[in-house]
Structure 1
């Protein structure tokens, strides 16, 4: 009899436990939601259980019924920027999510240059930490994790930006978010899902990689270490897929270093990654990224080709943008440039202009447009912004010119209007020009706004 009673109690306990409504970790205290838009709220409950949801900003109660798979969701209108607010979820139990702000929400992802924080010695963080509590900026750090199949939830929680939480958060992400906050005057939520060393393949659905023969072969070129995953899809499944129901303003990305060994196919791979995220979020997600910095990868052209591929993505995919950071590098033996402030600010300029429609004097670097041979010189023209091209110093750095023999020599150059005249005394009929087209080349040409000229080459030789 005691055994029967125990079994009955156990069954009742399991039924009660199963009936409790639960929320994903990204819906929790201190979260930020996008302002003035429809946002999805979701979670789990017992099949057929009715869940009532009441946001404080509207004081209106809506309801959803859990499916037979024990999942529920509903959409509500978010308020204008501000807060704090709360949302009450009521079923067999009640959950109150408190201290919610409405504003701008961005995902930060990539590898270690996105991860790098105060503890890694980046510049400019101490003064930011001394600001103390910044309640209008919130962080959500996604734990590193892998999964063979897309997951429903991540490990993490929303925290308010203060002198302690800032220390371990992405420097690029923070400076990006702080500039948005200062410019838009709205709360900003930043979700960081990044993992040092990871190639792009791990951040997209594995089926997309494995059905492409070139990308499958490229997997053999990836650096196999015990510190990060290189298996396609594993980080996407565990760290990105669970976030896709959460409405975002956009994403920023700093990655590519780990794909230098297979640079020629990076453009198509990266474009597919961006489009896969847009499909997962069911919107043309604004997506801005950082061109990899000069670094001594070796004598090969892998890094130069990858930068070229990144530039092509920015030029062809709508609502994407690329920031050039070669001028921020002071030590090309360090793959992690310590100036993350200007990286974040440049990403923010792209977002402010493209995603939020702000009129800014400049948002991106000048890029190569066309070149033609005129006598013993090549005349190169550029597009991208209306600033004047400036050569810093008398001698151009990392600028090469070649004739028909394909032998590149250090070039001389002169800025004429928006064009660059390039020559070498030994080359009578020049054929091509390359600028910063190497692993670690750092040039000295900028525009009058102070942004560096983007790396380029005028030839299209297969390297």
Structure 2
């Protein structure tokens, strides 16, 4: 009798593996992307039939689990609304996911300014807590995970937005989702995969980072830390790869401070990351991101932070992308984590509402340098995204510098001329050659368009930076 009992204990894990089970991204309270063929996948006994059905339709779909114990099924989702629904998976066992909504799903990734939440001291997120409950906003918060190879599952579970779940969730992601929910009147699912301090190289497969000399050098010179990976690809493998079969509407990105160590490659790395992610999802989804905020890095000679911002501006040539400028949203230049995130999320939502969802919301883009014209001692820079005009908030324009052929920059006087241009002069530069705007670690510019969006920092020269 003891032998039989021991044999049963030894065999019980084998029987357990016959049950159908799902990756963590599928749980009750989840949001599925509307009007999509959503992939649902999992594991079961090889040869086991698995059936999938959603309560929004009468049809079911089924498949036989392959020899690797993997099954995959695709189910069509309707237009958002009408929920909540159930999603039922039937094999040897039955799994019923309840309180499922269908709407818009967005990935929220990056380093600490994307990760920061009410628990981290984000003041406007804290203010939301008493009234945070919203059954039409759902969170999936993934813990920090790394892996040497791409994974097929992760950790976490879906939860309804309330005063408890919001405390630990990305404040930028939440405010973005809240704005979308208010404007589109559809359920919003947000997936938080941010990791404070992380390098962009960790978010890209290692073999791709190592494919190019510059990006390989950037990865090899990442500064060691105790709080985030210094290996290329490790976050991608542990936190991004497990999600790639899961249908999303788009991605948000707030990262770059850590990549000051080698800023010249950031443009190439952003292209590489977006192309890789879109390829993995097999979808040309929109990608909206935040330019790094002013912060006192206590190094004013190497222009590392301005160089990262410059690369981020250049990366706006990524199709279906958009960049948010936050030079006006910093409350403490000695804190790398601005304490307010609502307007950051709202500006990201502006891009999504206009570009992804086709809403007419007015100008949602920051004024951006267009051309430079020099006449005598006057340099005039014109801007795109200022059709309604430019304004100087709080007095005379600040943060403009001008240089002559000697490449020495001097603080300049600047004034708005015409509708979308600024005239720049300095008594020390009789023949201007180049203009810079907000091109330092801690700029406090006051040039905006009339919609209240700050101008993008820029320089008109391509001279070598730093010492």
Alignment RMSD, CA only?
1.4
Aligned to 1:443: 445
**Superposition misfits of 4+ residues, deviation over 4 angstroms:** none
Residue 201 of structure 1: aligned partner: 201
**Mapping of residues 50-65 of structure 1, within 5 Å:** 50-65=49-64
Measured in 1, the distance between the counterparts of 2:49 and 2:230 equals 42
**Equivalent pair of 2:415/2:423 in contact (CA under 8 Å):** yes
Which range moves more in the overlay, 53-62 or 171-180? 53-62
CA drift of 1:187 comes to 0.6
Corresponding position of 2:331: 330
Corresponding residue number in structure 2 for 1:171:
171
Q: Secondary structure at the match of 1:326?
A: coil
Q: Give the equivalent residue in structure 2 for 1:212.
A: 212
Instruction: Check 1:51–1:452 CA distance in 2 against 1; reply closer, same or farther (3 A cut).
Output: same
Aligned residue number for residue 366 of structure 1: 367
Structure 2 Cα separation of the partners of residues 62 and 345 of structure 1: 39
How far apart in 2 are the matches of 1:192 and 1:42?
21
Worse overlay, 107-116 or 128-137: 128-137
Contact kept in structure 1, 2:63 and 2:73, CA below 8 Å = yes
Count, aligned residues: 461
Number of the residue aligned with 1:312? 314
Q: Structure 2 vs 1, CA of residues 146 and 366 (structure 1 numbering), >3 Å: closer, same or farther?
A: same
**TM superposition shift of 1:336:** 0.6
* Matched residue SS, 2:17: helix
Q: Does structure 2 retain, via aligned residues, the 8 Å contact 1:123–1:341? A: no
Q: Is the 8 A contact 2:287 2:320 kept in 1?
A: yes
Corresponding position of 1:74 = 73
Counterparts of 1:385 and 1:238, CA distance in 2: 42
The 10-residue stretch of structure 1 (413-422 or 234-243) with the greater mean CA deviation from structure 2: 413-422
Distance 1:86 1:97 in 2: 5
Q: How does 1:337-352 map to 2 (within 5 A)?
A: 337-352=338-353
Q: Deviations over 1:177-216 (max 9, x none)?
A: 0000000000101000010000000011111112222122
- Distance in 2 between the 1:189 and 1:9 partners? 43
Gaps of 5+ in 2: none
Hey, what's the Cα distance between the residues in 2 that align with 1:310 and 1:430?
26
Look up the match of 1:381.
382
CA deviation string 1:211-248 (max 9, x = no partner): 22212222343221111111000010000100111000
CA drift of 1:461 comes to: 1.1
Deviation at 1:132, TM superposition (A): 4.1
Q: Whole-Å Cα distance in 1 between the matches of residues 293 and 277 of structure 2?
A: 24
The equivalent of 2:425 in structure 1 is 423
Secondary structure in 2 aligned to 1:124?
helix
Q: Distance in 1 between matches of 2:459 and 2:2?
A: 83
Confirm whether residue 462 of structure 1 aligns to residue 461 of structure 2.
Answer: no
Q: Which moved more, 1:15-24 or 1:192-201?
A: 15-24
Q: Tell whether 2:275 aligns with 1:271.
A: no
- How far apart in 1 are the matches of 2:309 and 2:333? 16
> Are 2:132 and 2:166, in contact at CA under 8 Å, matched by a contact in 1?
no
Q: 1:371–1:379: 8 Å Cα contact kept in structure 2? A: yes
**Partner of residue 436, structure 2:** 434
Change over 3 Å in CA distance of 1:385–1:66 after alignment to 2: farther
1:22 match: 21
Conserved in 1, the CA contact under 8 Å of 2:125 and 2:341? Answer: no
Matches of residues 136-155 of structure 1 in structure 2 within 5 Å? 136-155=136-155
Q: Is the CA contact (8 Å cut-off) linking 1:391 and 1:445 kept in structure 2?
A: yes
Kept in 2, the 8 Å contact 1:30–1:159? The answer is yes
Q: Which runs of 5+ in 1 are unaligned?
A: none
State the Cα distance separating 1:155 from its structure 2 match.
0.7
Partner of 1:293: 293
Deviation, structure 1 residue 391: 1.9
* 8 A Cα contact 2:254 2:290, kept in partner: yes
Q: Distance in 2 between matches of 1:385 and 1:26?
A: 42
Question: Structure 2 CA distance, aligned partners of 1:79 and 1:393?
Answer: 50
**Structure 2: distance between partners of 1:11 and 1:295:** 59
After superposition, the Cα gap between the structure-2 partners of 1:32 and 1:405, relative to the gap in structure 1 and judged at 3 Å, is same
Q: Distance in 1 between matches of 2:197 and 2:127?
A: 29
